[in-house]
Structure 1
Amino acid sequence: MTTTTATDSEAARAQQCARLNDLCRAGTLKQSRTVFTRGCIDAFCDPDDRLSLFAVQAELLGKVRGHVFAEGDDPHGERDFGAFEHRGKRLFWKIDYYDPSLSFGSEDPTDLAKTHRVLTIMLVSEY
């Protein structure tokens, strides 16, 4: 007989969150959105050039989507946080779990009916 421990269920939860977070980063999860902080946009965009904004967003998203997790940089196994360099500046990205109305934290980040993910890309100084 196999018994399930809290550690087993925590590991399964982390794996499910990681899978959903990967879909969020890939831009294929319907229950998610991506936001860029004001500082992040100001650091890289020409305020008078709207195409510059879209180009910068695409560059940053490309780096987030291509992020490779190294041993030790994902201690909870959820693949919800990372860091990278862009044009000489250090940035973070973070996935947070909210209820579908985006008013409160999610009760269960593994349940798509109860969770909307928000991927935020920011300068390290804004964290």
Structure 2
Amino acid sequence: MVVKKRGVKQLDFPLHKLETINIISRGITLSSDLILYCSKNKISIFFSDTFGAPLCALQNPVYGDMDLGLLQLQFLHNGHEALELAKKIIEGKVKNQINLLKYYSRHRSPDTVYGSAAAEEIPAPGCGSGCFQHAYQK
């Protein structure tokens, strides 16, 4: 793949190393040969605005996961299921952080930043200022 700017070669990239193409600028031209190569080799082409927000994606429908796409649309239209999924994800992240704090408390001395921070009591979410929980238990 050759990238040019105003006709001057900027980059020569081997196609076999290409994983994805993300276009974030206007006025970009792609050859039909490149698009066909990407389609045959499961390489997605994404178009984004200058802030990285997705605008469009080109993918071969044979290689896409249609079941996943349908599930994503169902979650979009069913707020309760989406909320439950978000709760489970957040719960998993909190548990992982607690386990990380436990790990640091076992493997760091109390005078290190991790050891001293993990030994402090922290306010429990939703309990107000009078309710505390330990970040870990020995």
Pick the TM interval, shorter chain.
under 0.3
Structure with higher helix content: 2
Greater relative contact order, per chain length (Cα 8 Å cut-off, separation 6+): 1
Taking structure 2 as the reference length, the TM-score comes to 0.24
TM-score (norm 1): 0.26
